[in-house]
Copies of this chain bind each other. A is one copy, B any other.
Amino acid sequence: MEMLNKYIATRTHIDGAPQESDFELKTEKFLLSVEAGSNNVVVKTLYVSIDPYQINRMKSFSSSQKASSFAVGITPGEAIEAYGVGRVVASGHPDFEKDDLVAGLVSWGEYSIVKGAVMLNKLDPMGFPLSYHVGILGFSGLTAFGGIFEICKPKKGEKVFVSAASGSVGNLVGQYAKLFGCYVVGCAGTKQKVELLKEKLGFDDAFNYKEETDLNSALKRHFPDGIDIYFDNVGAEMLEAAVANMNTFGRVAVCGVISEYTDARKRAAPSMLDVVYKQINIRGFLAADLMSVYADFISTTVDHLRNGKIHVLEDISRGVESIPNAFMGLFRGDNVGKKIVQIADE
């Protein structure tokens, strides 16, 4: 059966902040079947993840594009692979049947052909909304869980600072760290987000970085005894201020540096004298290399969800057409929690 498939593509490479004119909604003829002998799977997208890292794939050049298969450069005009949840509409692969729920690399479009079913898995929703499997039970959750526990190795009572703390990963980092027994302070960019962190998500404290003239002093005020762990989602000045306020054997997990993604000149220059003398460990990581904690992540998170101990913060738009704005909004700080686009009704 031939359909029309709508999807979002970039028009050109994007080397600064993304603009509406950088994207186009394309329509292609699309077969809802697989060729004989192929092991491809055709997936109808239900929910798709909107993530800041995609901007690095859209650049004309970025060293990140060599990092791993999910980070490769995006060719303007072509479909954009993205993590999502969908339903199988046709399968040539023995592991998948029509109507199976799946999670994996689909695309910013209504339908995707997942060649050889690479990075596609059957999905058991375990009684949770499908959108959870794009965020809290998907890569955002794994990034937060693995990032805080495996990369930072917190001890109970340690002081944790999280930037972009109302974002998809940050909000979960803070919640995991609190549930584990750390003291957690987050920063965000609006008063509403700050309230949310303190009142709904159980952060010990939070502040609006846009209201601070001196981040160093702001952190000194919130961490009079210093920071043991900084979970960095933003880079630049915030990373510098965090290092300046760090305790001996402090750890920085560098998860993302959103403020540097759209401005290559914007760079963190933390004091290396502090790094030496405080024996600080600054460590970049990717969720794809945290699969060793996957089972623990799922069981812990499912427990927290069933016991009502963790708050799910989702920001869901509807329709393929809304993807460019949803994506651009990440860099403006529009989203509260995990940004997801629902592409079709379940």
Contacts and interface: CB of A to CB of B under 8 A. Distances in A.
Interface in A253-285: 254-257, 260-261, 267-285
Contact of A276 (B270, B276, B286): B286
B248 A275 contact: no
A71 to B, nearest CB: 6
A229 interface: no
A289 B254 CA distance: 24
Contacts of A60: none
Number of copies: 2
Contacts of A283: 275, 279-283
A239 interface: yes
A271 B254 CA distance: 11
Given A63-B244, A244-B63, A279 B289 contact: yes
Contacts of A286: 276-277, 279
Nearest to A255: B276
Given A260-B272, A272-B239, A272-B267, A63 B277 contact: yes
Given A67-B248, A278-B284, A269 B271 contact: no
A85 B40 CA distance: 72
Chain A: interface secondary structure? mixed
Interface in A45-97: 56, 62-64, 66-68, 71
A18 interface: no
A256 B277 CA distance: 9
A186 interface: no
Nearest to A246: B63
Nearest to A261: B273
A235 interface: yes
Interface string A211-250: 0000000000000000000001001000100001000100
* A71, A244, A271, A272: most-surrounded residue (chain B CB, <10 A): A272
Contacts of A261: 273
Interface of A: 56, 62-64, 66-68, 71, 232, 235, 239, 244, 248, 254-257, 260-261, 267-286, 289
> Closest 10 interchain pairs by CB?
A67-B277, A275-B284, A267-B269, A269-B269, A64-B277, A276-B284, A257-B272, A282-B282, A281-B283, A235-B272
